[in-house]
Structure 1
């Protein structure tokens, strides 16, 4: 479920674009795909075809259990929906700056699916961080609140 991913929310629609030069609200373009998953099945994987042998490229059939993959597929979907509206270079920019980059990371044998094989999902091992010493990363929200009170 998308709710399980918290920060990796993939189904929240983009905000309204605002107002046009005439002061009237701009109409939000209709989305072609309603979810990142639909985009993956209907657009991305049918067009981004690669040999996935496990040696030079890896994929997990249960990709949705990998938070990084969910976030990257959502980014690919949202950028595609935006750039498809640019009739000049939108799709070229999408391929170059988004698809090739994110799919290269996703399919990389050392990428998020490193622990999976072609037919079976295996839970990834999460990186375990150690907390930095107190004061190394002051909370910017607290600093901004203090600055706004002093002005």
Structure 2
């Protein structure tokens, strides 16, 4: 009985490695074609530099919106093969918790990218890793979704407290 189970496990692992290689290959192609520059050393963007004095200091966010951050900064870099233990939804924008967490990632990335020494390393450890684990968790916001099925989770059920309950706080 061990033979078929082991073969199935190895087949699944090979498939995951192939998926990862395909994703990394597309990122490398984009880098070679100048379409993507990575999140650690973004290229100068028009309107993002001050004009005069120390003109090398950024004056605004690198990504203009959450959508731009997710499409151009997050998704091309953080490739994951979805599985029962790694969840993602192509309609990420239709999950309130995902928007909240991705917005937090974007805003903290904008701050930490300016730290020349440990900024990105600290951001990865302190922000990305825990948020990515929560986002892609089997119990996270995409728990009921698959690559081809969007199924949002219902909000927590709430009851309103009696009138005046929080007046003394």
Q: How high is the TM-score relative to the length of structure 1?
A: 0.68
Give the equivalent residue in structure 1 for 2:77: 47
Match of 2:156 among 127, 130, 138: 127
- CA-CA distance at 1:139 after TM superposition: 7.4
Return the structure number with greater relative CO, CA threshold 8 A, min gap 6: 1
Match of 1:108 in 2: 137
CA change 1:139–1:75 in 2 (3 A) is farther
Compute the displacement of 1:57 (Å): 0.7
Change in CA separation of 1:105 and 1:139 when aligned onto 2, cut-off 3 Å: farther
**Alignment length (residue pairs):** 113
Q: Any stretches of 5+ residues in structure 2 without a counterpart?
A: 1-56
Q: Which residue of 2 aligns with 1:10?
A: none
- CA drift at 1:138: 2.7
Q: Which runs of 4+ in 1 moved over 4 A?
A: none
The structure with more radius of gyration:
2
The Cα RMSD (Å) is: 1.8
Q: Which runs of 5+ in 1 are unaligned?
A: 1-26, 141-151
TM-score norm. by structure 2 comes to 0.61
Partners of 2:145 and 2:122 lie apart in 1 by: 31
